Structure 1
Amino acid sequence: MATTPMESSAAPAVQDAPGGRSRRDVSTAPLVAPSVILLFLWMIVPLAMTLWFSFQYYNLLDPTSGGFAGIENYTYLLTDPSLWTAMGNTLLLVFWVLVITVGLGTLLAVLFDQPFYGRSVARLLAIAPFFVMPTVSALIWKNMLMHPVNGLFAFFARLLGLPPVDFFGSFPLASIVVIVAWQWLPFALLILLTAIQSLDNEQKEAARMDGAGPVSMFFFIILPHLGRAISVVIMIETIFLLSVFAEIYVTTSGGPGLASTNLAFLIYLRALREYDIGGASAGGVIAVVLANIVAVFLVRSIARNIAD
């Protein structure tokens, strides 16, 4: 007897899995569970320990004199002017590095998209600094370029009859910005160059036929096309720039005074210079909250940009 369409649509799934089970009954949860549990423990255990120590009196010089501190670590830290100085330096560092990397990266991406002799070698050399370790790049800038006596910049200054500049003493935060921007510029260039290459050539040819010049092409075709890529670059760089540490440790050690101390370096000072684990843990919690606020804001902005 022939089956009706309703009966055929309600028929059970095909029994093609081993043991007579249907494909839709096979669950992948047992396969995914170990990695999910490991990742969960990887994140939760350090965060839980940081929260615990942030509410404790705990000093490495005298671990026996501990106890519950309540919110005293947070109160002391939030009323300490060094915290607000470090947070201000952190925001300035992130802002100026983003301005340099996104702005210069966009211009370089447009340049490297043009055909010229040796373009492949030029692209390789432009991307190479991203693979240099932060400690190594900081040492190069400190001892070979910005050194007030033996540095390359001091050599050129003497050639021009100008006094050499002690960059890390006179402009500490600006020097850190230059070093970090030099490291992250290749990343922005790579992402933006890839986005430019995905632009439809027919659209560019049509604009040229309509009389659009290079400036009009850049502002009305290329730049709008790069909107999503720029948002991704800003989000990824911001997350990493909030935790810049090696460049500051190698070059200025946060000084002079607190002129180049960011939030990550301030936590290091509390933990391993003052041995105050409770205060450093409270600073770590504040850093996590700040990073999550920035991340949520950036993710929403990018989602809105992609939806548009």
Structure 2
Amino acid sequence: MATQHSRSAARLMMAPAVTLLLGWMLVPLVMTLYFSFRKYLPLRPDVAQDWVGFDNYIRFVTSDAFWPAVQVTLIIVGGVLAITLILGVGLALILDQPMWGQGAVRVLVIAPFFVMPTVSALLWKNMFMDPVNGFFAHVLRALGLAPIEFLSQHSLGSIITIVSWEWLPFATLILLTAIQSLDQEQLEAAEMDGARWPSRFVHIILPHLSRAMTVVLLIQTIFLLGIFAEIFVTTQGSFGSKTLTYLIYQRVLESQNVGLGSAGGVYAIILANIVAMFLMRIVGKNLDA
């Protein structure tokens, strides 16, 4: 049993790490809040750097691109989550089956998760989705069809496909771990009682995976709300693919006003917290079940 002295020693040893973590989180947040109330143009010192109050917030939220950017962000997040959860469950079930070279297959399936977002976006843009030399273009020509310009004609679908390819290994790994912890005696007993595989999947496997699925849902959503690299490399926000994060980058780049971009950053933080609170309620219900 820990004594008061040991607790104090533990707190003392943890204090530097906690202080560093709080500083790493709070300093950028405080600076963002500070600059969001100012007209701050570091590349134009001739312009007055005034305190403008909530003017940056009003300008950002009343722009024509704000709500479409929020909508695009939520569509991408929802599309990627749906694809990775559905395909992740399927891949996890397949990888759980005994097969030749099982270890190598699992490594190959998980490998895309370790590819940088910029590299994977370039890979898909040039090797698969290029309308002239891309893999899909060659396949369509072989079938007698005209190549499709995926990034311009189906920009959102293309970005969702790229990001799903990046995050599918993560979902598969978490779900595979959950499947391997399932008590096989339950499945064998259900099979002996005459339950077919769809019934066993719906009533035994899927409920067992619910907690792992909520963890995947929460972690991926937190990261997907800040998606930027894939859009910057592929469409640069054109063709209706501009997310809130890319809009913030664009506003700062065009107006050179760090204050306006900081106000957009605060909106992004608010959106992320709203989504996170909603998901935490779902996670909490599943964990309490």
CA drift at 1:116: 2.1
**1:193-240 CA distances to partner (integer Å, 9 max, x unpaired)?**
000000001111101101111111111110010000000000000000
CA distance in 1, matches of 2:255, 2:197: 57
Question: Is 1:274 equivalent to 2:255 in the alignment?
Answer: yes
**Which of 7, 19, 25 matches 2:5?**
25
Question: Is 1:40 equivalent to 2:14 in the alignment?
Answer: no
**1:260-283 CA distances to partner (integer Å, 9 max, x unpaired)?**
110111111112233121110000
**Which of 268, 275, 288 matches 1:294?**
275
**1:33-58 CA distances to partner (integer Å, 9 max, x unpaired)?**
11111111111110011001100011
Deviates more, 1:178-187 or 1:75-84: 75-84
The residue that corresponds to 1:89 in the other structure is: 72
**Which of 124, 144, 152 matches 2:135?**
152
SS of the equivalent of 1:237 reads helix
**Which of 71, 76, 82 matches 2:59?**
76
Question: TM-score, normalising length from structure 1?
Answer: 0.90
CA distance in 1, matches of 2:137, 2:42: 43
Structure 1: tracts of 5 or more residues without a match: 1-12, 14-21
CA distance in 2, matches of 1:90, 1:46: 23
Deviates more, 1:100-109 or 1:112-121: 112-121
Question: TM-score, normalising length from structure 2?
Answer: 0.96
Alignment size in residue pairs = 286
Deviates more, 1:32-41 or 1:152-161: 32-41
Structure 2: tracts of 5 or more residues without a match: none
Deviates more, 1:110-119 or 1:49-58: 110-119
CA distance in 2, matches of 1:144, 1:177: 17
**Which of 280, 285, 289 matches 1:304?**
285
SS of the equivalent of 1:57 reads coil
CA distance in 1, matches of 2:14, 2:103: 41
CA drift at 1:59: 2.1
The residue that corresponds to 1:115 in the other structure is: 98
CA distance in 1, matches of 2:130, 2:256: 32
CA distance in 2, matches of 1:79, 1:39: 35
The residue that corresponds to 1:165 in the other structure is: 148
